Amino acid sequence: MKTVKIVLGIVVSVVILAVIAAAIFASSFDANRYKSDAVRIVKEKTGRTLSIEGDIGLSFFPKLSLMLGKTMLSEAGREEVFARVDKVQVALEVLPLLTGRVKLERVTLSGLQAEVVRYKDGRTNIDDLKGGGKSGDEKKAPESASAGPLGIDVEGVDIRAASLAYRDERESKQFRMAIDQLSTGRIASGLPGKLELKARFESSVPKAAGSVDFQSGYRIDFGTGSVALSGIALKVSGDLPGAAGLVASLKGDIEADPSKATFVVNGLVLVVTTNDGIEAGLNAPKLQLAAGGAVGDAVTGSVKVARPGFSVDARLALAALSAKGELISFPSMVLEFSGKQAETAFTGRIATPVALDLGKSTIELAKITGEFAASGAKLPGGNLKASLAGSVATDWAKQTARTDVSVKMDSSTLGAKVTVSRFSPLSARFDLVADTLDADRFAPPAAPAAAGGKDSKSAGSGGDAPVDLAALKGLDLTGTVRVGALVAHKVKVGNLNLSLRVAGGRAEVSPLSAELYGGKLAGQLSADANTHQLSAKTQLTAVNIGPILRDAAGKDVIDGRGNVALDVRTTGTTVGALKKALGGTASLQLKDGAIKGINLADTFRKAKSMVGAGKSQDQAANNAEKTDFSELSASFVIRDGVAHNEDLSARSPFLRLAGAGDINIGADSMDYLAKASVVASAAGQGGGDMSGLTLPVRVSGPFDALRFGIEFGSMISDSAKQKVQDAVKSGLKGLFKR
């Protein structure tokens, strides 16, 4: 017993001496004397400059506490600031360490600012700070079988006025989050706590800005690694792409337990609204995922859009899921919608089973069916019905997808096969087939005519329609289109075949072939979003030109059957600019046709009585009048939207026609002088021989109000010139007879 007392006395004496020594050391230790050493070590180890303003507060017993004032750390090898903090305070109780527990008082941090940068070569400004770890040949020391998780007990964490940023120089985008407040309750295994976060964010690509307000209860088990969030209340507000004034709220409970491989969601409710009339919601009452399978109640969702002239109400229903391992399936997913656009009402329904393979990262909609109906006074026949059948499969890990869909509308059947090899930027191969397709049936109604009878697009430069090719950029598409019979913009086309290639912001249709208006079309088209350039090189063979112009442009100016060649290019961002910049060549050769608007034969018959007046006669085009021809040819050189011609040649049994002039495509007008001559063998009706007579006709004005001016003054000069020439010929003949 005496020995025990002696040993106990020695132990107590040692402890007392140790406490006294620690107290003396803590009271005499000055951490600020080592600031220069800390700066030197950081510089040697990282190449960065550490700057500590003010004093360092450090104590050792009964708490190991640290209080740090304004501190900055530079970029590696440069003096620019990488990170800074205004204040850090942390205190660790010493005695609990003897029992294997880590007990911290409330950790506070304020004024943290840091920016992570990825450079154009792929390096980042934190590569030197990443832990290197131990080499692969070093063996990790085996843990004791009895070792349990380290007991961690933190009174709480409080972070204020922090700013974290990420800048990507390779993709030219930035993201920044400002944390106004991040606070927690007690953090200890098995004990409940509360988490609160208030933050703001801003992104350059995509353009977005807003705020985050998050509150939730939590419980953490350090032994199993499980985390439970209860009473989640998340609110995100701001402006996101396509969702200005977005407000999204999420409520529910989530629990994840890695040791059991389970994930549970209870009472999850998501509600989203925007300033432009969008309201969406999702309700998932219960979902439990586990290694052996999953169970869940039916999931429902809805989307409502209410805007001037447009509304839609869509409802989604996912049947209760069944799962085995990583395979999850919903026996059915049904989407129903209804709405109205202007005076047209529509309804629809799409249904399909859904299969997900989490291990392979795939989702498959194996049997899609759908119906669509629309009704309205502006629809041909007052209504439209369509049905859909097909399948879709995608692999989101590999960014691939395939689609095989068939759509029936009225008497038309359309088929589409699409294979996507990359989601972003999009890379895909497609094949579209249709037996018949009336595209005009699905086109939006034409804009109402403006005052003066011109449509809104032609009423001044302000109404010039824009042409935006930006959608071509970033795409990589290859595909074919085949249509048996097509109507588009009133033009009727048969056996349309084309191949499309889109890459590098440039789209090219080549080859292009079709049958139309009794003839054939062959050629190629291109559009370049980088230079805003369009080009077309086409050849029409043996076509009826009149019906084409009437259907495509609403112009009834010429009839005939023959060939038309076009090789043009232009640049611009509006329809008007494209027309004014048009350049290239064009030519036509027609047979057995007519020029509409004037009857030159009848005009000749009236000409003699008006020659003496010596005045020009101006008359409006009259589509009831026409000048027949057996052959007509002309070629054009097009510069700056003006097509110039000098070789017009037309023949008929009665007339020969020549001419030269300009067709101003940019201004939708023309100024052209045609000279019609009576064939020498012809005699005018109503008495008198008109052989050799030439009638100058000037065609001028806008396309929709052309006028024909008969220049009798020129007619007199040409007639006198002809008489002189005839007299000279007669004189020469008499001279040589002598």
Whether residue 714 is predicted with pLDDT greater than 80 in this model: the reply is no
Q: Convert the pLDDT of each residue in 405-428 to its tens digit.
A: 999 987 789 999 999 999 988 999
The pLDDT value recorded for residue 481 is 96
The pLDDT value recorded for residue 288 is 84
Q: Convert the pLDDT of each residue in 636-668 to its tens digit.
A: 999 999 999 999 999 988 788 899 999 999 888
- Of the two residues 102 and 170, the one the predictor is more confident about is 170
Whether residue 717 is predicted with pLDDT greater than 90 in this model: the reply is no
- In this prediction, residues 549-554 reach a mean pLDDT of 84
Q: What is the CA radius of gyration of the chain?
A: 42
Whether residue 5 is predicted with pLDDT greater than 60 in this model: the reply is no
- CA distance readout (Å), 135 to 129, 132, 522, 635, 662: 17, 8, 67, 79, 81
- In this prediction, residues 551-567 reach a mean pLDDT of 88
The pLDDT value recorded for residue 555 is 78
Closest listed residue to residue 25, CA positions, set 64, 62, 66, 60: 60
The pLDDT value recorded for residue 317 is 95
Token pair of 2, please? Answer: 């005496």
Whether residue 140 is predicted with pLDDT greater than 60 in this model: the reply is no
CA–CA dist 356, 367 (Å, integer): 14
- In this prediction, residues 447-473 reach a mean pLDDT of 61
- In this prediction, residues 70-82 reach a mean pLDDT of 89
CA–CA dist 207, 191 (Å, integer): 41
Out of 419-433, 505-519, 617-631, 679-693, least confident range: 679-693
Whether residue 146 is predicted with pLDDT greater than 60 in this model: the reply is no
Percent over 70 (pLDDT), the chain: 80
Whether residue 200 is predicted with pLDDT greater than 90 in this model: the reply is yes
359-363 — which CB contacts under 8 Å span 24+ positions?
A: 359/325, 359/326, 360/326, 360/395, 360/397, 361/395, 361/396, 361/397, 361/398, 362/393, 362/394, 362/395, 362/396, 363/393, 363/394, 363/396
CA–CA dist 173, 167 (Å, integer): 6
Top-confidence range, 59-68, 190-199, 590-599: 190-199
Q: Is 644 exposed, middle or buried (0-12, 13-18, 19+ CB in 10 A)?
A: middle
Residue 137 half-sphere exposure, CB side, CA atoms within 13 Å? 0
The pLDDT value recorded for residue 685 is 37
Closest listed residue to residue 688, CA positions, set 605, 592, 632: 605
Q: Which helix (H) or strand (E) holds 15?
A: helix 2-28
Residue 445's pLDDT band, with cuts at 50, 70 and 90, is low
The pLDDT value recorded for residue 193 is 95
Residue 141's pLDDT band, with cuts at 50, 70 and 90, is very low
- CA distance readout (Å), 625 to 297, 362, 617, 672, 682: 76, 68, 16, 19, 21
Question: Can you tell me whether residue 21 is helix, strand or coil?
Answer: helix
Beta strand spans in 169-277 (E)? 173-184, 187-188, 192-203, 208-221, 226-240, 243-257, 262-273
Percent over 90 (pLDDT), the chain: 49
Whether residue 390 is predicted with pLDDT greater than 50 in this model: the reply is yes
CA–CA dist 406, 391 (Å, integer): 9
Closest listed residue to residue 330, CA positions, set 316, 346, 319, 341: 319
The pLDDT value recorded for residue 145 is 41
Domain boundaries, the chain: 277-387, 399-443+466-552, 582-738
Top-confidence range, 127-136, 319-328, 358-367, 506-515: 506-515
Whether residue 19 is predicted with pLDDT greater than 60 in this model: the reply is no
- CA distance readout (Å), 304 to 9, 273, 280: 82, 9, 6
Task: Find the Cα–Cα–Cα–Cα dihedral 731, 733, 737, 738, rounded to 10°.
Answer: 20
Out of 121-125, 164-168, 527-531, 621-625, least confident range: 621-625
> Residues of 297-333 as b/e, b for ≥16 C-beta within 10 angstroms?
bebebbbbbeeeeeebbbebbbbebebeeeebbbeeb
Which residues 6+ apart lie within 8 Å of 499 measured at CB? 479, 480, 509, 510, 511
The pLDDT value recorded for residue 116 is 92
Token pair of 558, please? Answer: 């010429």
Out of 109-123, 604-618, 696-710, least confident range: 604-618
The pLDDT value recorded for residue 203 is 93
Whether residue 11 is predicted with pLDDT greater than 60 in this model: the reply is no
The pLDDT value recorded for residue 705 is 83
Crossing angle of helices 712-737/600-611, nearest 10°?
Answer: 80
Whether residue 345 is predicted with pLDDT greater than 60 in this model: the reply is yes
Whether residue 329 is predicted with pLDDT greater than 90 in this model: the reply is no
The pLDDT value recorded for residue 293 is 73
Residue 10's pLDDT band, with cuts at 50, 70 and 90, is very low
Work out the angle at residue 736's Cα, subtended by the Cα atoms of residues 732 and 738, and round it to the nearest 5 degrees.
120
The pLDDT value recorded for residue 195 is 96
Question: Can you tell me whether residue 264 is helix, strand or coil?
Answer: strand
Residue 692's pLDDT band, with cuts at 50, 70 and 90, is low
Which residues 6+ apart lie within 8 Å of 655 measured at CB? 600, 601, 604, 627, 629, 676, 677, 678, 679
Closest listed residue to residue 690, CA positions, set 607, 625, 576, 613: 607
CA–CA dist 25, 17 (Å, integer): 12
CA 588 to centroid of chain Cα atoms: 40
Q: Convert the pLDDT of each residue in 98-111 to its tens digit.
A: 777 788 888 899 99
Please report the sign of the dihedral spanned by the C-alpha atoms of residue 541, residue 547, residue 549, residue 552.
Answer: negative
CA–CA dist 127, 46 (Å, integer): 11
Closest listed residue to residue 179, CA positions, set 157, 194, 205: 157
- CA distance readout (Å), 10 to 1, 20, 84, 255: 14, 15, 50, 53
Please state, rounded to an integer, the average pLDDT across all residues of the chain. 83
The DSSP-derived string for 115-149 is: EEEE-TTS-BTTGGGS-----TTSPPPPPPTT--P
Residue 711's pLDDT band, with cuts at 50, 70 and 90, is low
Place of tokens 């085949």: 482
Residue 465's pLDDT band, with cuts at 50, 70 and 90, is confident
Residue 143's pLDDT band, with cuts at 50, 70 and 90, is very low
Whether residue 614 is predicted with pLDDT greater than 70 in this model: the reply is no
- In this prediction, residues 68-95 reach a mean pLDDT of 87
- Of the two residues 68 and 571, the one the predictor is more confident about is 571
Residue 287's pLDDT band, with cuts at 50, 70 and 90, is confident
Per the rule left: phi > 0, alpha: psi between -120 and 50, beta: everything else, 441 is alpha
Closest listed residue to residue 297, CA positions, set 252, 337, 256, 338: 252
Out of 18-27, 544-553, 698-707, least confident range: 18-27
CA–CA dist 507, 509 (Å, integer): 7
Whether residue 725 is predicted with pLDDT greater than 70 in this model: the reply is no
